[in-house]
Amino acid sequence: MTSSTITFDGVSHAFGDTPVLRDISLTLAEKRIAVVGANGSGKSTFARMINGLLLPDQGAVSIGGLDTAKDGKAVRRRVGFVFQNPDNQIVFPIVEEDVAFGMKNLKFSKAEIETKTGKMLRRYGLEGHRSHPAHLLSGGQKQLLAISGVLVMDPEVIVFDEPTTLLDLRNKLRVAEAIEALEQTAVVVTHDLDLIADFDRVIVFDEGRILADDAPTPALKAYVEAMSGV
C-alpha cells in the first residue's frame, strides 16, 4: 500500500433517515480518478469522506493506512480538498495572504512561506496579482487561487468537488490543464465528462451504490445509459 492509497471498507452513511452511501468497499490507487453520478447519488459525500470532512456511520475510510475517524489531523495533512465554489475556500482578502494562510498556521518559516507562495503564484499565472484583492479575480483565477492554497501544503492527494461547474470554457480549460499537470493523486467529482475522458478510472454512483467502476469509456457509457433510461 502506498502512502496515498485510499480505502473504503464497508462504508455506509445517511443524513437523517436518508441513506446516501450503501456498503461501499473499494481501493483507489490510480493517479487520476473521476467520480460521477446524478445529483443526490452520493458522490459528493464519498468525496468528503476521503479527507475526513464527513465520517462514515458504518465501516472505515483510510488513506495510506490512516483512519479518517482516528487520525483526522494526519489525514488532512495528506489530503487537500478544493471546493466547487472558490469563494467558500478563499479566506483572506489579498491573494498572497490567502496562499500563505495554511503555512502560517503550521508555523512555516517566513522565508519558506515567501518562497513557496511566490512559486505557486508563478505556476498559476497569479504573480502579477499577488497584492490584489482576491474577490476581484476572475472565476478561473479564483479557482486557481484555491488550488494554489491547497497545493502549497504539499498534499499527496487532492480531491476536487465540481471544479469547473461555475466556469466558462476558457477557464474550464485552464483548470483542466492544472489538474492534468499535478504530480499528486487527483480525485475529481464532476458532471463535466470531457474533463475526465483521459482519466485512469471512473466510478459511477447511483442512489448511494456503485453502478460502474472502470476505464472512462465503459464507465461513462454505463453512466449515460443509466441517465437516459436505456
- Predicted confidence pLDDT, tens digits, the chain (230 residues): 467 899 999 999 999 999 999 999 999 999 999 999 999 999 999 999 999 999 999 999 999 999 999 999 999 999 999 999 999 999 999 999 999 998 998 889 999 999 999 999 999 999 999 999 999 999 899 999 999 999 999 999 999 999 998 888 888 998 999 999 999 999 999 999 999 999 999 999 999 999 999 999 999 999 999 888 75
CATH code, 24: 3.40.50.300
Q: Whole-angstrom Cα distance, residue 64 to residue 6? A: 6
pLDDT attached to residue 2: 61
| In a domain? residue 106 | no
Residue 222, classed as helix, strand or coil, is helix
**Which grid cell is 187?**
480525485
Q: What total number of domains does the chain contain?
A: 1
pLDDT attached to residue 130: 93
**Which grid cell is 204?**
459511477
Q: Which of 220, 167, 211 is nearest to 193 (CA)?
A: 220
List strand residue ranges (DSSP E) for 16-103, in order.
18-28, 32-37, 58-63, 66-67, 79-82
| In a domain? residue 109 | no
pLDDT attached to residue 105: 87
Q: Are 7 and 42 in contact (CB under 8 A)?
A: no
| In a domain? residue 214 | yes
pLDDT attached to residue 53: 94
| In a domain? residue 208 | yes
DSSP strand pairing (32-37 vs 185-189): parallel
Residue 212 domain boundaries: 6-89+155-228
pLDDT attached to residue 57: 97
Q: Whole-angstrom Cα distance, residue 149 to residue 102? A: 7
Work out the angle at residue 54's Cα, subtended by the Cα atoms of residues 179 and 42, and round it to the nearest 5 degrees: 70
Q: Are 210 and 204 in contact (CB under 8 A)?
A: yes
Q: What is the pTM of this model?
A: 0.93
| In a domain? residue 188 | yes
| In a domain? residue 74 | yes
pLDDT attached to residue 230: 54
CB-CB neighbours of 222 under 10 Å: 18
DSSP strand pairing (201-206 vs 209-214): antiparallel
**Which grid cell is 48?**
468528503
CA distances (Å), origin 150, targets 24, 37, 83, 210: 27, 25, 11, 28
CB-CB neighbours of 183 under 10 Å: 8
pLDDT attached to residue 165: 87
| In a domain? residue 96 | no
| In a domain? residue 187 | yes
